[in-house]
């Protein structure tokens, strides 16, 4: 059909070093109507919650360089991100992206900001958003 969009299939996997520093948040969007008698009506706007992954701590210089190089090569394309607490066994990582357990298709959401402190560790502000796959 001419108006259907084809979703791009991720082919790259984020390196394991930077992946260890991310934290996860889960958002379930809902519609909430509040009435004067303090009653409410709620309706879900989505069938499945959306996950976002935020960089939670400082990275060593080598991991920061790997992350920057990886994201520069992505240029807005989706890629695989493994939530290491969901993989089997926990903490495992598949560099090929073939293992579907704990794997999410994500894109960079918003800008990437970076600062380096004396060449030892760097601070990166970064958020990844799950996309439909």
The pLDDT value given to residue 27? 84
**Cα–Cα nearest to 8, from 54, 76, 72, 73:** 76
Confidence of residue 2 (pLDDT cuts 50, 70, 90): low
The pLDDT value given to residue 42? 85
Is the per-residue pLDDT at 124 higher than 90? no
Q: What global pTM score does this model have? A: 0.78
Q: For the chain, how far is it from start to end, CA to CA, in angstroms?
A: 19
Q: Report if residue 39 sits inside a domain.
A: yes
How many domains in the chain? 1
Q: Report if residue 2 sits inside a domain.
A: no
Per-residue buried b or exposed e for 117-128, using 16+ beta carbons within 10 Å of the residue's own CB: eeeeebebebbb
pLDDT over 90 for what percent of the chain? 14
Is the per-residue pLDDT at 67 higher than 60? yes
The pLDDT value given to residue 122? 66
User: Containing domain of residue 116, as a range?
Assistant: 16-130
Q: Report if residue 1 sits inside a domain.
A: no
């Amino acid at each position: 059909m001419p108006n259907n969009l084809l979703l791009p299939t991720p082919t790259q996997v984020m390196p394991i070093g930077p992946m260890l520093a991310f934290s996860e948040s889960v958002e379930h969007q809902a519609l909430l109507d509040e009435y004067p008698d303090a009653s409410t009506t709620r309706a879900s706007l989505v069938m499945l919650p959306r996950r976002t992954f935020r960089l939670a701590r400082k990275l060593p210089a080598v991991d920061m360089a790997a992350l920057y190089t990886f994201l520069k090569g992505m240029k807005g394309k989706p890629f695989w991100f493994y939530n290491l607490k969901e993989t089997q066994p926990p903490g495992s990582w598949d560099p090929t992206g073939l293992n579907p357990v704990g794997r999410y298709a994500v894109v960079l959401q918003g800008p990437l900001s970076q600062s380096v402190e004396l060449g030892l560790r760097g601070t990166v502000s970064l958020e990844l958003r799950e996309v439909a796959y």
